[in-house]
């Protein structure tokens, strides 16, 4: 009996429920975005993800790495995030920025749905620090990118091996919806078509 209960609890911990989530958009900035691998495909997927998370009322945090040098968040992402407020950082890991860790703590979310750039630097270090901080990073593989595809692939492998959940934008949105036939389901279905 005890073993079954423990397995059910572990399984539930791996399922993703919208009530326990927040979203994180990492450093999709003017001087970084143009040099990213498959940037147009990445942008299309991230906009779908952000619209879906907003429709599902998932709170979103946004960071910018040294915006004075790297510019602001790119305009299409800013528009998708309205109202747009970014947390400035100089540390690669978002979790090392007190304004971010404080804002995340106030949300009370246990799972953090992560998108952004670069996969092998800021996204990776943030995911590792979230794990160390007792959070569960949910890394949306088609909503992260790097300049070099091998860097992204290696970062995903490392995050998965460390305990992060790896998913895709369509998969996470339908997991958050849970059932067909609802208004949320119809909204998400329209977005992913």
- Residues serving a catalytic function are 27, 89, 122
Angle ∠(83,44,172) on CA atoms, nearest 5: 80
Contact between 42 and 115 (Cβ < 8 Å)? no
Secondary structure letter of residue 95 according to DSSP: G
Tokens of 165: 């959940």
Cα of first residue to Cα of last residue in the chain, in angstroms, is: 44
Q: Please report, to the nearest 10 degrees, the dihedral formed by the alpha carbons of residues 83, 145, 104, 98 taken in order.
A: -100
Q: List all residues 6 or more positions away from 149 whose beta carbon is below 8 Å from its beta carbon.
A: 37, 38
Contact between 122 and 27 (Cβ < 8 Å)? yes
Count of C-beta atoms within a 10 Å radius of residue 188:
21
């Amino acid at each position: 009996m005890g073993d079954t209960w423990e397995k059910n609890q572990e399984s539930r911990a791996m399922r993703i429920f919208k009530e326990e989530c927040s979203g994180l958009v990492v450093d999709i900035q003017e001087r970084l975005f143009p040099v990213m691998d498959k940037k147009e495909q990445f942008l299309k997927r991230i906009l779908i993800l952000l619209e879906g998370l907003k429709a599902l009322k998932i709170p979103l945090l946004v960071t910018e790495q040294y915006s004075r040098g790297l510019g602001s968040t790119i305009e299409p992402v800013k528009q998708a995030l309205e109202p747009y407020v970014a947390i400035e950082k100089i540390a690669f890991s978002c979790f090392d920025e007190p304004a971010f860790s404080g804002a995340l703590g106030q949300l009370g979310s246990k799972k953090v749905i992560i998108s952004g750039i670069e996969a092998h630097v800021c996204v990776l270090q943030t995911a590792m620090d979230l794990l160390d901080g007792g959070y569960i990073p949910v890394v949306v593989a088609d909503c992260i990118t790097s300049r070099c595809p091998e860097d992204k692939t290696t970062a995903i492998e490392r995050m998965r091996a460390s305990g992060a959940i790896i998913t895709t934008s369509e998969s996470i949105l339908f997991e958050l919806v849970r059932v067909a036939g609802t208004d949320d389901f119809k909204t998400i279905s329209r977005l992913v078509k």
